[in-house]
């Protein structure tokens, strides 16, 4: 089951570029019954090989902006330390709720962006024979 989760998360990460946490954390909590904090910590460790392979593959296509990635990565160190400190201070239920709110907000944002892009795109007229 865990290996299947890894394969599924890898496909979704490669296809959509989403972090494995969007797949790993819900699966680890809902399917495998892990506590939220344990699922989040496991997800952080599991995403390392996914990120390495995914970024290497996208680098071959010339898509990775390494300077931007380095700045984001270094800047996020303080944030991840602070976030982990807050996460360990919350109850499991509070952390689950906060993560759920985050997922809903991310879904709304992505849906809104897709909707706006669809409205802004010109409609292609069918070619006549």
Predicted confidence at residue 65, as pLDDT, reads: 94
Q: How far apart are CA 31 and CA 69, in angstroms?
A: 32
Q: Which residues contact 87 (CB under 8 A, 6 or more apart)?
A: 37, 40, 95
Kindly give the residue spans of alpha helices, DSSP state H, lying in the chain. Answer: 2-16, 21-26, 36-60, 66-89, 92-120
- pLDDT tens-place values along the chain, 129 residues long: 888 888 888 788 778 877 678 888 998 999 899 999 999 999 989 888 888 888 898 899 999 999 999 999 999 999 999 999 999 999 999 999 999 999 999 889 988 988 888 777 665 555 654
Maximal CA-CA distance, the chain: 67
């Amino acid at each position: 089951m865990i290996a299947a989760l890894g394969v599924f998360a890898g496909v979704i990460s490669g296809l959509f570029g989403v972090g494995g946490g969007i797949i790993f954390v819900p699966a680890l909590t809902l399917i495998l019954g892990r506590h939220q904090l344990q699922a989040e910590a496991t997800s952080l460790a599991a995403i390392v090989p996914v990120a390495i392979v995914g970024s290497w593959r996208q680098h071959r296509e010339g898509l990775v902006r390494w300077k931007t990635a380095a700045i984001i990565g270094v800047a996020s160190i303080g944030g991840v330390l602070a976030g982990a400190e807050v996460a360990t201070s919350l109850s499991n239920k509070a952390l689950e709720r906060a993560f759920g709110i985050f997922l809903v907000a991310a879904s709304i944002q992505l849906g809104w962006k897709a909707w706006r892009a669809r409205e802004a795109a010109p409609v292609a007229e069918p070619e006549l024979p």
